[in-house]
Structure 1
Amino acid sequence: MAGYKDKDGGVVLSFNGSWVAWSHTAVAYTAFLSALVIGSMLHYHKIVKNEWFGYPDEWFPSVSATIGDRYPERSLFQLFIAITSGPRFALVGLWYILTRKPGHALPKFVGAMGLFRTFTCGGWTYITSTDDHDWHDIFMIAYLVATLPWTLGCIALSPPNPKAIKYRKYIASAFFGTLVPMVYFFLQHKIHRVPGAYTVYAFFEWSLILFDVAFDAVTALDFSTFEVVVKDVKGATSGYVQWLPK
């Protein structure tokens, strides 16, 4: 990281656009994985238990039980998700700027879906299954439904970067392919009350989280073309320019 004096008091901060994607990825993964580690250490037997079975029939916690049932993992998760919202909104905004074209409605629609997903994520994050199971599920389902146009739209609008397009297609296929067995094992648990089915369901549920965040991490390959600049247009700062590494 380096800096220098800008005699005009203009640019005071500059960083490559890929940092938006990487910061979003790092903080989002930290939110989920920190809750999983802390929850497993402090409340393992409680978060693996469901309405039908507990340990040892069920031995891996679901996402909802991990992030919403117990303190302090619930608070830790919500703290990091709040931090994630900053780079998340920036990611959606940069993607719209990168893909917009005069007379084309698709970039606007995809951008709107990106914003909608961000707000619905806040819904199932801060209204947990313990608080209100119905609204938690409504926001979660809305998030998953909006993921379809967001994912397909991002693939359709991808700049001509073969590496990024390949990664998006692979991750999207893994994400949507995971939904079918996840629903199957959820029904095995909920309707047929099969011991251990919820644990298998939980693995697929966590896989969705990993794939979802990874899909948006691919934007780092496209955002490398951007330089995000903060300018002091009135000369109120000392004019010391801070550059983040490429």
Structure 2
Amino acid sequence: MKKFHMSSLTTRLEVAFVGALVVGLSLHYHKIVRNEFYGYPQEWFPSVSATIGDRYPERSLFMLFIAITSGPRFALVGLWYLLTARRGKALPKFVAATGIFRTLACGGFTYVTSTDDHDRHDVFMISYIVATLPWTVGCIALSSPNSRAVKHRKRLAAAFFATIIPMVYLYIQHKVHRVPGAYTKYAFCEWSLIILDVAFDAVTVYDFSSLEIAVRDTQGLSNGSAGTSPCPIQYRDRFTSWERGFIVDEANYPSV
């Protein structure tokens, strides 16, 4: 029996960001905390962009784990659509399209780093944040009103958008007024958005707990000969474990 946990998506994202941060602080601390105006000690904590895009090997580590999470992220969007889609309702389709766009934008600011092209990197990151608004509101609107998930979503969404306000203010203080230390405070807001965003998507574990996907071999192809296999294989995914069961066709086994 092979077990699979939906939390693995969250774990991989945590490894991607936290792993890059730990490696960056260990190997290139003074370099990644420096910005165009100040360095250490005025600035003493790196931004997300500096952590994931400026130096090797933290950049490669981040890219690797983001690539690993891309499949589960697309799967999350698709399964959420299947769970919420209703005939004649356009909102589930819009939310799904927004989710796909967010995932592509995430790939954009991941693989076009601030060192490679600062402007395009910012465009992808801003696009991701902007697309998070309809994704968040849409997911809340499509959630069951009495579910435990919607309560967590509302709290996380409120915290996410509340964090954007001081983040924008601190960025202006850094970029326009060149206030020492403002970028470090901005970096904390940026990292907070990452944590809240990952937590928001992780809440879907409550919604998917009752969803089952079954893939069945109805022709015996898994045994090498179509139509003659006595043991077709059935896979079930309840998002907490994989179950592999062998279904024996009694018609192929005459009683002795």
Please give the TM-score of this superposition, normalised by the length of structure 1: 0.89
2:142 pairs with 132, 154, 157, which one? 157
Give the Cα–Cα distance (whole angstroms) in 1 for the partners of residues 89 and 105 of structure 2.
26
Which residue does the alignment assign to 1:24? Answer: 9
Which residue does the alignment assign to 2:112? Answer: 127
1:70 pairs with 55, 62, 74, which one? 55
Show CA shifts across 1:126-149 (max 9, x none).
001100111111111111111100
What secondary structure sits across from 1:171 in the alignment?
A: helix
Please give the TM-score of this superposition, normalised by the length of structure 2: 0.86
Which residue does the alignment assign to 1:94? Answer: 79
What secondary structure sits across from 1:229 in the alignment?
A: strand
Aligned-residue Cα RMSD (Å) equals: 1.7
Count of residue pairs the alignment pairs up? 231
- Runs of at least 5 residues in structure 1 that lack an aligned partner in the other structure: 3-14
Give the Cα–Cα distance (whole angstroms) in 2 for the partners of residues 87 and 122 of structure 1.
14
Contact 2:15 2:65 survives alignment (8 Å): yes
Which residue does the alignment assign to 1:205? Answer: 190
Are 2:159 and 1:174 equivalent residues in the alignment?
yes
Which residue does the alignment assign to 1:193? Answer: 178
Per mean C-alpha deviation after superposition, the further-off stretch among 170-179 and 230-239 is 230-239
Give the Cα–Cα distance (whole angstroms) in 2 for the partners of residues 195 and 233 of structure 1.
67
Runs of 4+ that moved beyond 4 A: 238-246
Contact 2:159 2:196 survives alignment (8 Å): yes
Give the Cα–Cα distance (whole angstroms) in 2 for the partners of residues 129 and 178 of structure 1.
22
Which residue does the alignment assign to 2:37? Answer: 52
Q: What letter matches 2:34 in structure 1?
A: K
Contact 1:161 1:222 survives alignment (8 Å): no
Deviation at 1:191, TM superposition (A): 0.8
Q: What letter matches 2:132 in structure 1?
A: T
Give the Cα–Cα distance (whole angstroms) in 2 for the partners of residues 130 and 60 of structure 1.
18
Per mean C-alpha deviation after superposition, the further-off stretch among 161-170 and 172-181 is 161-170
Which residue does the alignment assign to 1:141? Answer: 126
Deviation at 1:226, TM superposition (A): 1.0
What secondary structure sits across from 2:17 in the alignment?
A: helix
Give the Cα–Cα distance (whole angstroms) in 1 for the partners of residues 214 and 18 of structure 2.
32
Q: What letter matches 1:97 in structure 2?
A: L
1:221 pairs with 182, 206, 229, which one? 206
Per mean C-alpha deviation after superposition, the further-off stretch among 161-170 and 98-107 is 161-170
Give the Cα–Cα distance (whole angstroms) in 2 for the partners of residues 23 and 112 of structure 1.
24
What secondary structure sits across from 2:221 in the alignment?
A: coil
Q: What letter matches 1:86 in structure 2?
A: G
Summarize the alignment of residues 80-91 of structure 1 with structure 2, pairs less than 5 Å apart: 80-91=65-76
